[in-house]
Amino acid sequence: MRVWAISNQKGGVGKTTTVASLAGLLQGQGAKVLMVDLDPHGSLSSYFEMNAEDVEYGVYDLFQKAMTHQPCEDPGKYIRATAFENLFLLPAVMALATVERQAGTIEGLGLVLQKALEHLHGEFDYVLIDTPPMLGVLMVNALAACDRLIVPVMAEYLSLQGLERMLRTLAMISRSRKRPFDYTIVPSLFDRRTRVSADSLRLLQERYGGFLWAGVIPVDTKLREASEAHLPISHYQPNSRAAIAYEQLLEFLLEPGMTNEPQALSA
Ligand SMILES: Nc1ncnc2c1ncn2[C@@H]1O[C@H](COP(=O)(O)OP(=O)(O)OP(=O)(O)O)[C@@H](O)[C@H]1O
Ligand SMILES: [Mg+2]
């Protein structure tokens, strides 16, 4: 079971879109995929037609148990089927927002998701975790649970400081797990016509060279249409520029060396 977290503390950089797109592609290849919506806003849940307002049980319940010092339970009963075969979702509920508020007072909440996923070992081929745009306890859970971090970075509003902070946290978690793992920066919402996109990409190449995916996810309105149609882009418009870009990204992520020999992360 491979666990990928899609994270960036910057908002609106394409995290949720990346989760839905990669999940759709993996499902299309016959893999059994679980998506975990860790964002209290529940955008990923709505993408797959589950509203965080309507969902009664979900990933929050796992945290609730941990906050009241109850043993970690099997998340299986909270997992919902989507309209797509082999594609499942652990939905967000609104209450998830309270985890962030209460977490400061309760210790040991960083490993809730990791422990929950241990129950699912062997049940899924891939687990893709969507995170809120905030370096809080929910994102820390995603970083601790994953063996690969995918960081969509929007070239136009590049916030390298935020990125550095997140990567430092990742390095810290990585050290405490005594298991190095790697991350991939994915330029997203890339507009070839703008100079700022090209400049930002150059900067990313200089700073993150080996950790930067060589491709880009272009700006493509088909992605917004796909989310409105509640379809992953590969199901909505497989020949769109965005679908092809995500296909190339997935190909890169599945390259054998990528997951079997993770590069050590230097702090
Ligand atoms: N490559 C793209 N081209 C055009 N629109 C895109 C692209 N990627 C994402 N979008 C659109 O941009 C908006 C933000 O994308 P998305 O919700 O995936 O970002 P996010 O990082 O998950 O945001 P948040 O931090 O709020 O959770 C959405 O309306 C989405 O449809
Ligand atoms: Mg999102």
pLDDT, tens only, 109-129 = 889 999 999 999 889 999 999
Residue 115 to residue 141: CA distance in whole angstroms: 10
Q: Give the C-alpha separation, 61 to 42, whole Å.
A: 15
Q: Which ligand is nearest to the CA of 233?
A: 1
Atom 9 of ligand 1, nearest CA residue? 14
Confidence of residue 158 (pLDDT cuts 50, 70, 90): low
Higher pLDDT, 159 or 192: 192
Instruction: Give residue 181's pLDDT.
Output: 65
Compute, in angstroms, the gap from residue 42 CA to the centroid of ligand 2.
8
What pLDDT, on a 0 to 100 scale, did the predictor assign at position 159? 67
pLDDT at 160: 72
Q: Is the CB of 127 under 6 A from ligand 1?
A: no
- Please write the tens of the pLDDT for every residue from 162-180: 788 888 888 888 888 777 7
pLDDT digits (tens, 9 = 90+) for 197-236: 888 899 899 989 889 999 999 999 999 999 999 999 999 9
* pLDDT of 92 over the 80 cut: yes
Nearest CA to ligand 1 atom 28: 224
Please tell me if the CB atom of residue 217 comes closer than 6 angstroms to any atom of ligand 1: yes
Name the burial class of residue 65, with classes exposed (0-12), middle (13-18) and buried (19+) by CB atoms within 10 angstroms of its CB: middle
131 lines ligand 1 (CB under 6 A): no
Strands in 126-130's sheet, in edge-to-edge order, are 80-81, 87-90, 33-37, 126-130, 2-6, 148-154, 182-188
16-72 pLDDT per residue, tens: 999 999 999 999 999 999 999 999 999 999 999 998 777 777 888 898 888 888 888
More confident residue, 97 or 219: 219
CA distance 186 to 150: 7
So what's the pLDDT on residue 266? 42
pTM of the complete model beyond 0.85: yes
Residue 16 Cβ contacting ligand 1 at under 6 Å: yes
With cut-offs at 50, 70 and 90, classify the pLDDT of residue 247. very high
Structural domains in the chain, CATH included, are 2-260 (3.40.50.300)
- Check if 150 has its Cβ closer than 6 Å to any atom of ligand 1: no
